[in-house]
């Protein structure tokens, strides 16, 4: 007997197929089907989704699972549980593990563990350079064969333009997206927050936007020179957005992402020295935040990504200067994005869903983010208007470094399905 799922009465939002209407989603043996026969309807597992949005499973192309090497912060199991609870069914994990993902053996080790314990789909990335030192190229071809979907030294930025050019050329040969953490390290030594009024007020070392802007410009030039696809991660600067917008106007192959914390918070929110707001790149000004929202609206920024970066409470519980950079975001990303973009009436609900589904999947050519007939039935059911108070102590993530802790948000995930099978029921992981 086939495994049949019949979701009825929900608002189906599938931006890849320009669908936004009350309707049904039918699933047979893990694939989206156009319809069910009467016999199939009688044997189906019928779910009443009245009042809920039925969307493709969310896609996050920028997460850190700390596995291998730092599983006291997160693991593939806990990270994917957090993803499922947040409505995500596909994630791309960064290579700055221990050891780093600069060889096929480490990639195979990760994929073996994913096959054993992951709750959602996990796609690995490979390092651009050996040991992420920015000096010698990693074996791009071997990493592609091992299964990576992109190349990046995320957590670091290749400082040598010559090395970066060669890395980009090799990645293009193997049809791999290059993801870059844009940061001129000569400008950011010992810096901890955005350079400006608030860094002066708080007596903290400033981190200039120029450090991001110069590397974004470098990458635009390299993409134009080589024809490679370069994706800029966690863009925070209005000037960087302007550079990317003009590059796209010249049809250069660049894309970029924004993170919820960068379009929700600003450097003024650091007034109490909250280390849960210490991120890389740092929170910028309100003008930068507004530019990010505008760029998500007009397509300059292609997608939303969480940059889920777990750290233990002990690591974050120290002086601001010494706390590690990064926050967790998988379990709040949808609600935070709805809060800042949809409930503020800056973007439509369909536009937000698009930024978190097919537009994210397209960056690395993932087979995800749609409810097309025949597609794998990865789905997220959520109530966009249900209010809830964020309690990081109840998260599935091992870490608690969440700047939304204690805040009220709207947008509650009610169910997550991977290949037609429920993995989260709104209350608990069920796999």
Residue-range definition of the domain harbouring residue 263: 56-363
Read off the pLDDT band of 328 (50, 70, 90).
Answer: very high
Contact of 4 with 24, CB cutoff 8 Å: no
For 208-257, what is each residue's pLDDT tens digit?
Answer: 999 999 999 999 999 999 999 999 999 999 999 999 999 999 999 999 99
pTM, whole model, 2 decimals? 0.98
Residues sharing a CB contact under 8 Å with residue 132, sequence separation 6 or more, in sequence order = 95, 96, 100, 102, 153, 155, 156
3-state DSSP assignment of residue 68:
coil
Nearest of 105, 98, 44 to residue 68 by alpha carbon: 98
Cα 39 to Cα 27: distance, rounded to the nearest angstrom: 14
Cα 385 to Cα 373: distance, rounded to the nearest angstrom: 28
Mean pLDDT of the chain: 98
Q: Is residue 14, in this structure, part of any structural domain at all?
A: no
Q: Is residue 75, in this structure, part of any structural domain at all?
A: yes
Cα 316 to Cα 367: distance, rounded to the nearest angstrom: 37
Q: Is residue 368, in this structure, part of any structural domain at all?
A: no
Q: Is residue 257, in this structure, part of any structural domain at all?
A: yes
For 419-428, what is each residue's pLDDT tens digit?
Answer: 999 999 999 9
Task: Give the dihedral sign, CA 396/401/402/407.
Answer: positive
Whether residue 371 has pLDDT greater than 80: yes
Nearest of 145, 215, 203 to residue 176 by alpha carbon: 145
The residues annotated with a catalytic role in the active site are 307
Look at the chain and report how many structural domains it folds into: 1
Contact of 93 with 124, CB cutoff 8 Å: yes
Q: Is residue 401, in this structure, part of any structural domain at all?
A: no
Q: Is residue 424, in this structure, part of any structural domain at all?
A: no
Whether residue 179 has pLDDT greater than 70: yes
Half-sphere exposure of 416 (CA within 13 A, CB side): 29
| CATH number of the domain where residue 267 is located | 3.20.20.140
For 77-106, what is each residue's pLDDT tens digit?
Answer: 999 999 999 999 999 999 999 999 999 999
Q: Is residue 409, in this structure, part of any structural domain at all?
A: no
Classify residue 312 as exposed, middle or buried by CB count within 10 Å of its CB (0-12, 13-18, 19+): middle
3-state DSSP assignment of residue 326:
coil
Whether residue 1 has pLDDT greater than 70: no
Cα 312 to Cα 314: distance, rounded to the nearest angstrom: 5
């Amino acid at each position: 007997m086939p495994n049949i799922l019949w979701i009825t009465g929900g608002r189906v939002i599938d931006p890849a197929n320009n669908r936004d209407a009350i309707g049904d989603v039918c699933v047979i043996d893990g694939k989206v089907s156009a319809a069910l026969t009467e016999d199939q309807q009688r044997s189906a597992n019928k779910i009443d989704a009245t009042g809920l949005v039925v969307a493709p499973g969310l896609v996050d192309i920028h997460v850190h699972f700390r596995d291998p090497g730092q599983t006291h912060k997160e693991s593939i199991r806990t990270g994917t549980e957090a993803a499922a609870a947040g409505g995500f069914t596909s994630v791309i994990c960064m290579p700055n593990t221990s050891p780093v993902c600069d060889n096929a053996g480490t990639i195979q080790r990760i994929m073996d563990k994913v096959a054993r314990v992951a709750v959602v789909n996990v796609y690995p990335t490979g390092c651009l350079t050996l040991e992420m030192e920015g000096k010698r190229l990693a074996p791009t071809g071997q990493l592609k064969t091992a299964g990576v979907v992109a190349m990046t030294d995320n957590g670091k930025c290749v400082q040598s333009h010559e090395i970066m050019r060669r890395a980009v050329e090799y990645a293009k040969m193997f049809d791999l997206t290059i993801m870059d953490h844009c940061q001129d390290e000569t400008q950011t030594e010992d810096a901890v927050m955005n350079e400006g009024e608030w860094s002066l007020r708080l007596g903290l070392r400033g981190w200039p936007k120029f450090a991001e802007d110069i590397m974004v410009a470098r990458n635009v030039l390299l993409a134009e020179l080589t024809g490679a696809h370069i994706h800029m991660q966690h863009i925070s600067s209005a000037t960087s957005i302007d550079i990317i917008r003009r590059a796209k106007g010249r049809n250069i192959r660049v894309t970029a992402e924004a993170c919820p914390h960068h379009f929700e918070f600003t450097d003024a929110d650091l007034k109490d020295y909250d280390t849960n707001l210490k991120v890389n790149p740092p929170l910028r000004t309100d003008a930068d935040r507004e530019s990010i929202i505008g760029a998500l609206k007009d397509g300059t920024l292609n997608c939303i990504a969480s940059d889920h970066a777990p750290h233990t409470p002990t690591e974050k519980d120290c002086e601001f200067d010494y706390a590690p950079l990064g926050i967790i975001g998988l379990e709040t990303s949808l609600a935070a994005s709805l809060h800042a973009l949809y409930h503020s009436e800056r973007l439509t609900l369909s536009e937000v869903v698009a930024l978190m589904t097919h537009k994210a999947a397209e960056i690395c050519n993932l087979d995800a983010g749609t409810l097309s007939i025949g597609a794998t039935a990865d789905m997220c059911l959520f109530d966009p208007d249900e209010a809830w108070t964020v309690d990081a102590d109840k998260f599935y993530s091992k870490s608690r470094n969440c700047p939304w802790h204690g805040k009220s948000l709207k947008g509650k995930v009610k169910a997550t399905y991977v290949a037609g099978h429920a993995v989260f029921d709104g209350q608990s992981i069920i796999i």
